[in-house]
Every structure is written in structure tokens, then in C-alpha cells.
Chains A and B, each alone.
Chain A
Amino acid sequence: MNHTQPVIDTSPKVSDEIRKTTCYMCACRCGINVHMKEGKVAYIEGNRDHPVNKGVLCAKGSAGIMQVNAPSRLRSPLKRVGERGSGEFEEISWDEALEIASTRLAKVRADDPSKLAFFTGRDQSQSFTSFWAQGFGTPNYAAHGGFCSVNMAAAGIYTMGGAFWEFGQPDWDHTKMFMLFGVAEDHDSNPIKMGLGKLKKRGAKVVGVNPIRTGYNAVADEWVGITPGTDGLFITALIHELMKAGKIDLHYLAQYTNAPVLLDSDPASESFGLFLRDKDSKPLVIDLNSGKKVAFDKKGIKPDLNGSIRQAGITHTTVFHKMAETYMAPEHDAANVAEQCGISEETIRRLAAELAHVAFEQEISLPIEWTDFRGEKHTKMTGRPVSFHAMRGISAHANGFQTCRALHILQIILGSVEVPGGFRFKPPYPKSSEIHPKPHYGYAPNKPLDGPHLGFTHGPEDLALKEDGTAARIDKAFTWENPMSSHGLMHMVISNAHAGDPYKIDTLFMYMANMSWNSSMNTSGVMKMLTDKDENGDYVIPNIIYSDAYSSEMVSYADLVLPDATYLERHDCISLLDRPICEADGAADAIRWPVIEPDRDVRGFQSVLCDLGARLGLPNFTNEDGSQKFADYADYIVNHQRKPGIGPLAGFRGDGSDSGRGDVNPNQLDKYIENGGFFVEHINEDASYYKPWNMAYQEWAVKMGLFDAPSPYLFQLYVEPMRKFQLAAEGHGERQPPEHLRERVRETMNPLPVWSNSTDKDYPIHALTQRPMAMYHSWGTQNAWLRQIHGVNPLYVPTKIWEQNDFKDGDWAKVSSPHGEITVPVAHQAALNENTIWTWNAIGKRKGAWALDEKAPEATKGFLLNHIIHELMPAKGDGMRWANSDPITGQAAWFDLKVAIEKVEAPAECEPNIPAQKSPVGKGPKNLTWKVGA
């Protein structure tokens, strides 16, 4: 019998045109090809040429078409007409909206600029928004880093001049053993997946250290189901085991770190624990060749890791000596930490042995010549092919900063940072914490701020304190409560503003931050603070301006809503001045541009700030004649110069051929579009590793404008600025911590990371959240495709707790913390730490938000753990309510949540059941049959 089959067209037309821009479905910032048909978005795929994703694209990215067409998109500026939180608005014109905003803000600026708190959430234009805030003159600006992962960033930068995530990456092509710490699976998501794929292809070993075995940990060759919050303990045990066995890279420690730097070791001394420095303030080491003390960077020296010197009656020994005292102590022995970590003693010892084996017995060597900062020439690049990466999990604890530091110490003693097979920085990192700015907070009416808001403190003198010792900033960043809070504390802003502590504000101005829902601790409490009225019947937080592209929960709490454009309708720059998209082998930046025009009366928020800045007469947003300086954000991107020759975009400067430094090029955006929406400048091979000490890299970085002069530095195993805070707490120096914080500062600001934790017997179970790979925060829910994948979020319960409570499929549980309780559906997971429960983050929605039906499963069976996490710790009887934050950086300690769980009758819906908000955009259509082309 003859086979017959239809003839089909196997070469249909794919699209009319491809427009290449940058994704914004999460923070990963992949390059995308937007296929257009008849002027509409038809299909989105990854851009093969792009440095971040090299053609691949995640579920969120591919679902972008459902986001730019989501019914939840705001359509017009909104003025509140009902009570706050109700969602009652009237649509107004942009003229009216900008008039309202500028009139109010002009008064604030003239009276007291600190009465404006301007905080941005998932902002990818922080160098721009902070520039605007500086021009306005308020000290109260930050983005979401404080509640996100400042511990990770700050620990990395203070310790080694760069961090994980988009600031660095494992050497995927050479590493032989990869250890991945922490829950969350979020940042840098496609590069990590691509990297894991490379490791799998080569058969390299992947070890996942994570209470939860999902996602990346599911493919890990070995899963270490650690108890949450004990990573630091586990890591210091690995350090202990490696040191005890002498499996450490002594050459690396001596040459590239402050391990040989001499410390004042006399407890009676005023400078106890500080570096011995020369007259140029350079830290000193003992040169093994001469036995004499010399500046650390002197050519040809061989720094002694165990040097000591007595000078002016004070004994000085090395940082490494101090490390030996600290980490050789028996408390760090595997046997003594195993139970608390939930990892067997044997496993800890074996993992230490495997790390040592791969690092030292499987050493790799690339035949690349290079010259170090001391002028010494090397004929090869030696590598220790063990690498590490960490996700939010290890950092969102009150001990997170020290845990992240401990992990860097582990990397460094193995000699596996910035070497082949190890961990590599991405430009503009590495960069010493010392050449970052310090915090600025000097404000005056109608004046710009005296410098950038955020930075790195190096001692009590850098704290943002007023003369009376109170906090200069509304979020109390850079105070004794959290001296190294480099990203601010966005999660404290509403609570502090409501309490009037440290002071009251007039206007809360926020961008893209769902603070009345999934981005706040104590969600129900925050909703109350936002709607609370004083004795006169006025709102305690008098004025709230909010910008968002979508009908989020936060929209309903604004007095004025400025509707933003979606990511395909706007200009953006992913700048080297900000969080760049570089790879270890090159510097890169990128743009977004309007591949479609908005069909609503909306404007890109940054363009609105250009307009508002001019209306307010901010000096950096007005020309000398008082006219508007930047017509819109695109104008700013092209024409703004931070320093002469350095602008938001590094590519195609001058006549289009300059990279890094160069004159303004009016055609720069066209050149980017021509090039696929991005720019990349590769690093020469001789500059590709050992970057902090490699002169070829240092010179390349100067040429690119990453810094102004070569700035080599040593890795800071011992962070001296922490010791300075500690010294103050011990009573030295002029600036002293308040008495109630003295003991805490002394205990927590340990210049070598050691682990600490608190326990609460009434709440024995750890509760965590992870972000599903197919969703980004609250955004995914409005996406018709993604919400089918994650429309509800059960609470996953490990076997032990499942059986103890006699749970069955379909059961519900009441979960309580010292702060409150929620009632939620449960599900069983065996591959889970036995004392941990968890759920997917930000699936739960408030009824009426995101243009969903009020009966949407996200609103009835989806839930947030946020309700039972408070921004303050429970009272301990000392009269204080301590912040639920890392005492060093102020990072929100989301993952310190401890709970109790019990089975309950299934309610109709999750509890608490928050009443609906009115949707300013109505509801989405019933059914979708999406096809753009014929």
C-alpha cells in the first residue's frame, strides 16, 4: 500500500523583522530577538550573540509576549479618590500628574529634602535613579539590595573586591569540582544553567549545599541537605579541616591576600587588631628574604605568613597567625558541628578531602605569561579547579554577612579565586572596597546631596549619623545598628516612616517595589502602616507616589500612580556604572529600546524623572537657562557624562569606535541597535586571570574607564574596618556606639568570620522560600502562560514532619511564628532537610490585583510567608525590639524564620484572607487564542 501524506510548508515565513533588545522578565538581562509580524510582537527567543545568554532563554523570557500584552498593564496616571488600599482611582492626564508631584516635591525640597524617601525596587537603572535623588538632595535613597542580598554583595566586596551573582562566575570551562550554596535559584539564572550544562557535559562534579533538593540541586551529583542558617558553621569546619591538613595554598595566601599583613597583637594597645602601616599608610609584611618589614606591594618580596615583629613595645603578628588561632580551634572540628549542620562528620571531612584533592592534586596550568603588581613576571597561570557559587539562601540570615565572608575565605585559602578553574570576576570587578565611594548624607534645602548615597564604610567616621548621633537616613543605614549597610534598608523605610523614627517624612516615592505585599516583611502590618491615620485624620505617611507598569498590590496604596512602560516599550541602559552584564572575559553593556510603542497613556519612569527633575529645577536635570536638560531617558543615556568621557554606555563612543572612554556619540543608540542591543569588549588572554594583581588587566580596566589608575589590592581575609567598629565598641575613639548597641557591635563585627546563631525552642522548624525558575517575584502571575505553571504554592513538608502530623495529600496546616500565623495547603517532599519547610515565593496574590479574577487560585490557595516574618525580632526582655536583620549590613533576615506547624481542617481559602482591592484596569479576558500573524 502506498503511503500518502499531506504536503506541508516546512519553510513558512518566520517574521517580518527581528528587533534585538534586552529582556526584563527577571534580573538576568538576557539578549532577546523579538520577532515582529505586522508591527506586533509575535515571538521572543534568545539572542545567540549576546554575552549573557548566548541564544538560550528561560521560561520567563519566552513568555514576554504575555507580559507586554498583560491585561494588568496600567493605562494612565491615576489619582487616588477612595481610601488608601481600596484601589479607588480616577485617571488623570500626565500634565496634572506631574503638576501634583512637582508642586509637592518642590515644597519638600525647599523645606527639608530629607522628607522625601525615594526608594526603588527591581530597578535596573540605579545609577540614574540615584543620580536623580542626589540632585534632589534627599539622603533617603536606595534600591532593593538591603532586603535582597546586600550580605552577598558587601561580603564579597569587602573581602575580595567582588561577589557572586552577576559580579563573578565560576570558570565553567576549567573547573572540576563545583560547590553551590544556598536556596533560591534566582540571580544570574541562565548563566548558571548554562554553566551547569557545561560541567555536566565534561562530567565535572557538582555538589549542592542546600536544605532543599530542587532545581540546580536536583542535578547536583551530591546533595548536602544542610540545616538552614548553618552554612557558616559548615564552611568554617571545612576551613578547619583544610588548615589542619595543611591543604592550603600558601603561595597564594602570601602573595595575593592580607594573610601576611602584620596586626597589632597587644590587647592593651589602642590599635589592637589594626594593621601595622608605613608612613604612606601601606600595610606592612615581613619579607622572608630579608626578615625585615616592608610595604606589602614592594617588588620582589616574599611575604612571611608567620612573621612577627616587636615595635614600640607592641608585638605584631600576621593575619594568618590570627586565622590559625581562630580556625584551628576545636570548636570548628567537623565532629563538633555535624549535628547542628545536619551533615555527618564523615561527609564534612570527605568533602574537605575532595576539595583538597581537586585543588592541589588536579592543579591545572595555562601557558599564559603575565606580570603581577609587584612587577614579577610569571610564565604560566596556575589554577586550582574548585569553584563555588552561592545563592540568596546563605545571605538572607542575620549571620549572612559572616557566612558569605567565610565562604570567600574558603575559596581564598584554596587559592581558587581569579585563577583558572576557580572563581572569576566580571568587569568592572574586581575592585577594592577602598576605591568604592563612602556613604553621603549631607543635605540642605534646595541643594543637591554632597555625594552618592550608598557606599562602603571603613570605620565609625563613615557612619551616616547626625551631630546628635541619630540616624541621618530614614532607613537607619550606616548607623551602629548596621554599620556596613551598603545597600540601604528598603525593608525598614515604611516601618520607620510610620513610627517617625528617626524622623517623619512627607513623601514616600517608590518605583517597582511591591512593598504592600511580597516585598515586605510583616505584610499585613505594612498595609496597616500605609493606611494608618493620625489624630487629625491624616495619613501618618502623608504622601505616597508610586510608579509601576502593572496593577500590583502596591498601586492601591498610592496617592498618585505614574504608569511605567513595559520593557519592550522603553529605553533602558544596562550600564557598567550599575549592575552590568559582563562576562569574565569581557566588559559588556546593553540597552533596551522601544521595539513597540505603548498603546496606553504611559511613560517610561526614567523619562518621567527627567521631566520631574527639570520641573523641580534640579541642577543635574536643567540647563543653565533653566530648561529641561534631558528630553527623556534616551537623551540622558547618550549625553550624560559621569566623568569626562565616561557615560552610561561604554560602547561606540566618540565617532563610534571608542570603547570605555570617549566623547558623547549622538548615534550611540543606533549603533547599539545595529549591534544587537549590546556592546562587548573582550579582555586579552594575558589579562584574563589574576585580575586584581595582573597589570595587564589593571591597565585594560583603566583604558575602559572602570577606574582611573591601576588599583591592585590584596584580598582581605581580615577586614580591618570591622575591627575599627569593634575597637569603638571597646571604648576607643571619639565616635562611640550607644550603650545598648555596644556589646552587639563588639560581638558581631568580628574581622574574621565566625558563626553565630540564635535558637528558639518553641518554634523548631525552619521555614524558607525559593523563587521558582519560571516566575519572577510577583510579576509572573499576570502572565497567562506562567501562571499555569505556578498558580498555587503548597507548603512543602519533609517526611519526618509529614508523618509526625499524619498529613495526607490535600491537607492544610496552621503555621505559626512568634509574630503570627497562616493557614495553608501542604504537600510532601522527601528530598528536604528534615527540620525545614518551604514554599515558592510570591505566588500568593491579593484579590483584585494583577487584573486577575478575585477567585484566582493565587488569591485563594496561594500564600505568602511574609505575614509571619516581622521586621523586628520578638521582645527579649531587654526593652528592645531588635531588627530582624544582619547586625552588620542590615540585610533582611528572611530565612531566619522559625515556625511551628499543626494540621487543621481545610478552610475554604488561605488565611489571612485579605479583602480585595479594586482593580483600576478591570479583569483580563476569559480565553486567549493568541496569534499575531495570519
Chain B
Amino acid sequence: MTALPPKSDVKLGLVIDLDTCVGCHACVVSCKGWNTENYGAPLSDQDAYGENPSGTFLNRVHSYEVQPEQGAAQTIHFPKSCLHCEDAPCVTVCPTGASYKRAEDGIVLVNEDACIGCGLCAWACPYGARELDQAAGVMKKCTLCVDRIYNENLPEEDREPACVRTCPAGARHFGDLGDAESDVSKLVQERGGMDLMPELGTKPVNKYLPPRPKDQGNEIDILAPLLAPIATETSGFLGWLDRTLEKI
């Protein structure tokens, strides 16, 4: 149903820590593996061993360079998947009702049995979160591992998205952003979690924690005043040493 559901109190989503992501692509491949084997059609690859390989991925890690006014450029790794927007434009454009937002938790899904593969939802998405699988002809997107997070065949600790479970640096967090008391909401609060392209009014559920200020050491650090010399050459140093050793 392409109408958005009534506002839900539960807003499941991811919080991605740009201060911690080292850009290892673990989440990318773990996602590929889980979603190839699970929900809907497998994520196919074209020209897999050939000249121009490409394939469907639901999560990709971009790398950016940011040049501050002062100091060295910074490298920032930037994982990106569906943000499960509250006002998801990809849902309302869908002609068949295949694209929908779940009422109970806000997850945006594609019902592949109803998808005609027109691609309009991918056009409507600002974030590049949807990819039309070239083998199945249906739209694929992050399911927030809806087949893991409630899965009673998995141990409770594993009921989280594959990307979160695998992230070596712990840069990805999963939870209910509709609950102000949840760990993820607190993280967003503490670290100034932000929306991507807020000007488009999509109200993403997923939040990004900005990188902490870097290379601040060039300013005077009050905690670590510069070292005062006890000696400037060997004999002075050894004299200091003798005096100090006597005191120990």
C-alpha cells in the first residue's frame, strides 16, 4: 500500500558513527551475503568475472575527503543504505503498492510479488538506497534485516541486522529511534546525530553521528603543557638522574 501508514511510535533504524567507521566494507559484504540467501530474490551480479562487473548491493560505503579551512584534509568513510524515512517518497510514488512502510516498526520494504520494476521509487529516493536487481527485475533495498530482528530461529543476541552484527569497529547501532530512552536515541542526543539532506523533508529515521573534531592538537592543550627540560646535554641529564635516583 503506497500510502504511508499512520505515524508509529516505533521507528526502527540504524545509527552510523562516522567517527568510528574505518571503511572496511564488512557491513557491505555481510549484507550482500545475508540478503542474497534470504528475503526475496538473491542479489545478483552481472559480468561477475568479466570486464565490467556490477551487482546489487543494499549497503555501500563511500569515502569522502573534507577540507577544513585550517589544517589537513580529513578522510571520512560513509556507509549508506536505506534510511527508512518517515516521509518516504519512494513509497508514495509506487504504482502497485509493492513499496510500503510497515505500520508497526516503520521499516520500508518492497513486496517483490507486486513489484513491476518500473524504477520510479529509486528515482524518488534521494539517497540511492534502492537498486533494481538486473536478474530478478524487482527493486531491492535494505530490509533492516526484518527476517533477522524478529527471527525466533536466531539466538536473541543475533536479532539485529547483519551489518550491525558484523561491524568490527562497532560503528553501527540498531534500535528504536522512536523511543527517546533507547540506547540509539541517547547516542543521537549525545553526539548530535544528524539527518542526510534534511532539506528534502524525507525525515530519515537512520541517523549519522558526525566525526568528532580532529587535529585539534595544534592548539594549545591545557592538559599537556609543553615539556620543561631538566637538562640539555648528557652530563646534565646524568646529574639529574643521580639526584632523582637518590630520591626514589
Contacts and interface: CB of A to CB of B under 8 A. Distances in A.
Q: A contacts B directly in the complex (CB < 8 Å)?
A: yes
Contact of A244 (B33, B72, B237, B245): B237
A787 B29 CA distance: 11
B227 A324 contact: no
A347 B216 CA distance: 11
Contacts of A933: 37
A927 B72 contact: no
A243 B237 contact: yes
Interface in A342-387: 346-347, 349-354, 356-358
Contact of B22 (A324, A330, A353, A773): A773
A9 B28 CA distance: 24
Interface of B is mostly: loop
Interface in A154-195: 189-190, 193-194
Given A5-B100, A14-B154, A929-B135, A62 B29 contact: yes
A219 B76 CA distance: 8
A787 B237 contact: no
Contacts of A59: 24-26, 28-30
A808 to B, nearest CB: 17
Interface string A239-264: 00111111100110010000000000
A870 B5 CA distance: 66
A193 B111 contact: no
Interface stretch (B45-53, B80-88, B198-206): B45-53
A929 B48 CA distance: 10
A357 to B, nearest CB: 4
In the A-B complex, the 8 residue pairs with the smallest Cβ-Cβ separation, listed nearest first, are A924-B49, A245-B227, A193-B168, A830-B73, A197-B170, A357-B224, A218-B75, A10-B150
Contact of B24 (A1, A42, A347, A774): A774
Interface stretch (B116-124, B159-167, B174-182): B159-167
Which of B36, B55, B168 counts the most A-chain CB atoms under 10 A from its CB?
B168
Given A219-B19, A830-B73, A251 B248 contact: yes
Nearest to A932: B37
Interface string A797-834: 00000000000000000000000000000000111000
B146 interface: yes
Contact of B51 (A3, A853, A932): A853
28 contacts: A5-B100, A12-B38, A12-B147, A37-B37, A45-B33, A56-B165, A57-B30, A59-B26, A62-B30, A193-B169, A200-B20, A214-B23, A216-B22, A218-B75, A219-B211, A244-B227, A246-B237, A250-B241, A320-B241, A325-B234, A328-B233, A330-B233, A831-B65, A856-B50, A924-B48, A927-B46, A928-B55, A930-B44
A200 B169 contact: yes
A61 B21 CA distance: 18
Given A71-B49, A219-B22, A930 B36 contact: yes
B54 interface: yes
B237 A931 contact: no
A246 B230 contact: yes
A218 B153 contact: no
Given A14-B151, A784-B49, A357 B223 contact: yes
A929 B26 contact: no
B244 A855 contact: no
Given A3-B5, A347-B217, A784-B55, A324 B49 contact: no
A320 B245 CA distance: 13
Nearest to A320: B241
Given A12-B151, A200-B20, A306-B238, A3 B169 contact: no
Interface in B191-236: 211-212, 214-218, 221, 223-234
Contacts of A14: 151, 153-154
A324 B215 contact: no
Contact of B151 (A10, A201, A782, A791): A10
A536 interface: no
Contact of A196 (B20, B114, B212): B20
Interface in A8-51: 8-14, 35, 37, 42-46, 48
B157 interface: yes
Given A196-B22, A246-B240, A788-B54, A217 B227 contact: no
A396 B244 CA distance: 39
B45 A250 contact: no
Contacts of A709: none
A504 interface: no
Nearest to A772: B25
A356 B166 contact: no
B166 A56 contact: yes
Contacts of B168: 53, 56-58, 189-190, 193-194, 197
A724 interface: no
A320 B234 CA distance: 11
A13 B41 CA distance: 16
Contacts of A324: 234, 237-238, 241
Given A42-B37, A856-B49, A350 B224 contact: yes
A774 B29 contact: yes
Contacts of B224: 350, 353-354, 356-358
Given A56-B166, A785-B45, A853-B50, 6 more contacts: A53-B168, A58-B26, A218-B22, A853-B51, A930-B37, A930-B45
B210 to A, nearest CB: 13
B102 A288 contact: no
A356 B230 CA distance: 14
A852 interface: yes
Output the residue of B21, B49, B57, B170 with the most chain A CB within 10 A: B49
A791 B42 CA distance: 22
B30 to A, nearest CB: 4
B4 to A, nearest CB: 8
B242 interface: yes
A882 to B, nearest CB: 34
A349 B217 CA distance: 11
B153 A11 contact: yes
Contacts of B215: 221-223
Interface in A915-934: 923-933
A526 B225 CA distance: 54
A56 B135 contact: no
Interface core residue of B63, B216, B224, B229 (most chain A CB under 10 Å): B224
B87 to A, nearest CB: 15
A123 B51 CA distance: 31
A321 B225 CA distance: 28
A354 B216 CA distance: 13
Nearest to B233: A328
B169 A785 contact: no
Contacts of B131: none
A46 B48 contact: no
A640 to B, nearest CB: 34
Contacts of B166: 45-46, 56-58, 62
B241 A306 contact: yes
A591 interface: no
A214 B75 contact: yes
Given A5-B100, A11-B150, A785-B45, A927 B135 contact: yes
Contacts of A786: 29
A43 B34 contact: yes
Contacts of A9: 147
B140 interface: no
Contacts of A243: 237
A53 B30 CA distance: 15
B74 A218 contact: yes
Contacts of B111: 6
Interface in A553-600: none
B93 interface: no
Interface string B1-17: 10101100000000001
Given A5-B102, A197-B168, A250-B244, A57 B26 contact: yes
